[in-house]
Structure 1
């Protein structure tokens, strides 16, 4: 098996740890399997030689604060396992059975790195897939970059994933790739929604002290310069510590400045705590655009009536006019299949998790051997693929290894068949994605 080293053999555990350490990537104590709550998906034999197997690692937060991001991953892994059992991937002219090895990172970056290392060393995966914000995606991507293993990440702004890992346009990553939207897209979507509500143009910023929060609040690439150009003033009380139960300082700063716009990128639990305390302390902006924290139905249902008209970015929905390159399912078909199988409402993470396997299948189909790591990585870097989350073009940038996905804006409204539904209200950047309502103030 190729690993990007001169010898071309898989490194042993000691060699791998030395490689990771030299690359400046954290490796954490404990057995590689200790943090893994999930078991590999059963492999179903297909025609081909007995050893013709593709092993795909899939790191997901099934538990912990980011669990809403991983809620659909079990469904996707099972559905993809069934699909590949009936439709083996042909590599080098031979059909290969596919083994999906799913691991729970427990919403912890240290564990994400640990289970990724285990998938490389102990399970010998040929490709790594990871989703669920930069907290998970960055740690896993770093381990793969150090090991010389192809990796595809999603559901994190490209700036958080690229610059947050020390990437530079003149020195991009060789083994790790991402498809997602960027901060520039969120800025345009948020500003379009803000402009449709009469406010004093004072915007309170709720930035956590993590990779996403630091990127969103960055004075060079984040929201401050972008929104200033549109006539808004950021009220920034400083980054808060994730998991905080006391947001009194932030609320006081927003009230003092009479911030009628709220923006931020807290995780679901943090935003629920903030929004409850804001209501108790008499702070209510006229519009609130919140990334990450209110993308999921369960979070909104937990907040209840005060969540009506909260706004967020929408990277995927059943109304997106795209279809899977693997199954042929439309976005609506995929959402319907998920609800039928689980009884749960769709979430944005569903589409992105499915698209990871679309990219994986296309990459393997483009090479002559599953052991050709560099060939797999190059296939991803040069890939153009129509997926259920939209057309992906890794050759277009904005930096090597990144493909952009479309982004629109939505607000939560009382639902007809579910307690709340996410209604698309802003599509200025992507008119091909239809709106179903207009922006309304809180």
Structure 2
């Protein structure tokens, strides 16, 4: 797989040449593009509708439809004028190269003013690369800030047009350590880390970040996404009471079923990425009971949309009623992407990319995923805004609305999110 910096380089060069001739990308006075005075704001959304990362984009179509309907009835008020909002969504197909290509297409062919994206570093990093190359504002989420910001070496990238909101590895490590502390264990953990940007970042940072927990992490080596036989990992994990990792959903389904077959039974398992989604948990059946994961967003959180006025619970209810599916964590963050975009453009007063990025650099907005503010936290790069994080366990329901409920069991970093149960050991 090519690195994000090499993706669609030819398209980027062409776009820059066009910009040099025209003075802006796609700019005209009737809408779309980067010139000021437009009456239409055009937003490009790089989604993950298909492929291995499709659960991250499961709610995106619902949110895009919701936002199109909302803005049709509620034009965006900018500088005392009503602006139309156009949203163009394209599928990255869970592929990094494709993510960069569709971002370039949104810039070159569709003349978007802003690009938004979510769904792991594999997607948001190449999208950001294209926006940086073409001087287009980019707003991203659903990736820990480290693999988004630190792409080459140990120093954060120098990003000008990309703004990201999410939590960091230091936060998820603290939540996981809190969960471990509530289950008696032998202080030994197995690390299930894939050879992708998330796995590389988690495996490199978690041992130090959780050192004070008293749990030592054994990483038998990074595995390739799509692995079908986890016998080597399971052999290394035998006797370790704690399991952690950040696999993609289908890989954890394979791993956990093999773990049961081969007799590996940790007392607590905290798994990022794979256990975020009801569909992935249901694919495991009863053996998913009491598996734990981070909780970035939940309907019980006391947050409200700055656009629609919906509470987190009302947004989740609307999603379940509209789709017939259980709410899923990326729902709130997909919605928040449009809250941030609207607030930034209103603050900027134009679609000029320099104005929008300047507005983002000090933007503060209360969203359905919590308060988001850039430029106020010296512990992260200036283009990163951190969001609240809790921890939860999936629990089998007895005749409930859904086969499993995600129960919040740790709120050490988000005390405003109510705890709904105690941490329980795995059966």
TM-score, L = length of structure 2 = 0.90
* 1:291-302 equivalent positions in 2, closer than 5 A: 291-302=272-283
Q: Report the count of equivalent residues.
A: 396
Is the Cα contact below 8 Å between 1:92 and 1:367 reproduced in 2?
no
Match of 2:414 among 419, 430, 433: 430
Is the Cα contact below 8 Å between 2:12 and 2:134 reproduced in 1?
no
* 1:17-96 equivalent positions in 2, closer than 5 A: 52-96=39-83
- After superposition, the C-alpha distances for 1:423-442 in whole angstroms (9 at most, x for unaligned) are 00011122111010000000
Aligned to 1:247: 230
Match of 1:211 among 181, 197, 213: 197
Is the Cα contact below 8 Å between 1:16 and 1:147 reproduced in 2?
no
Match of 2:402 among 415, 418, 424: 418
What is the distance in 2 between the residues matched to 1:159 and 1:251? Answer: 28
Structure 1 unaligned spans of 5+? 1-10, 20-49
User: Residues 369 and 167 (structure 1 numbering): CA distance in 2 closer, same or farther, change over 3 Å?
Assistant: farther
Aligned to 1:100: 87
Is the Cα contact below 8 Å between 2:348 and 2:358 reproduced in 1?
no
User: Residues 12 and 108 (structure 1 numbering): CA distance in 2 closer, same or farther, change over 3 Å?
Assistant: closer
RMSD of the alignment, in Å? 1.8
Aligned residue for 1:141, secondary structure, equals helix
User: Residues 17 and 376 (structure 1 numbering): CA distance in 2 closer, same or farther, change over 3 Å?
Assistant: closer
User: Residues 199 and 210 (structure 1 numbering): CA distance in 2 closer, same or farther, change over 3 Å?
Assistant: same
- After superposition, the C-alpha distances for 1:105-156 in whole angstroms (9 at most, x for unaligned) are 0000010000000001000000000001111111111111111110000010
User: Residues 13 and 272 (structure 1 numbering): CA distance in 2 closer, same or farther, change over 3 Å?
Assistant: closer
Q: Which moved more, 1:182-191 or 1:225-234?
A: 225-234
- After superposition, the C-alpha distances for 1:171-230 in whole angstroms (9 at most, x for unaligned) are 631000100000011000000000000000101000000000000011xxx101122222
Is the Cα contact below 8 Å between 2:142 and 2:330 reproduced in 1?
yes
Match of 1:16 among 7, 14, 17: 14
Is the Cα contact below 8 Å between 1:167 and 1:173 reproduced in 2?
no
Is the Cα contact below 8 Å between 1:58 and 1:102 reproduced in 2?
yes
What is the distance in 2 between the residues matched to 1:167 and 1:56? Answer: 32
User: Residues 15 and 164 (structure 1 numbering): CA distance in 2 closer, same or farther, change over 3 Å?
Assistant: closer
What is the distance in 2 between the residues matched to 1:174 and 1:14? Answer: 16
Is the Cα contact below 8 Å between 1:172 and 1:400 reproduced in 2?
no
User: Residues 55 and 296 (structure 1 numbering): CA distance in 2 closer, same or farther, change over 3 Å?
Assistant: same
Is the Cα contact below 8 Å between 1:217 and 1:224 reproduced in 2?
yes
Q: Does 1:303 align with 2:284?
A: yes
Structure 2 unaligned spans of 5+? 1-8, 18-36
What is the distance in 2 between the residues matched to 1:396 and 1:246? Answer: 46
What is the distance in 2 between the residues matched to 1:51 and 1:217? Answer: 46
Q: Which runs of 4+ in 1 moved over 4 A?
A: 11-14
What is the distance in 1 between the residues matched to 2:110 and 2:124? Answer: 19
Aligned to 1:363: 344
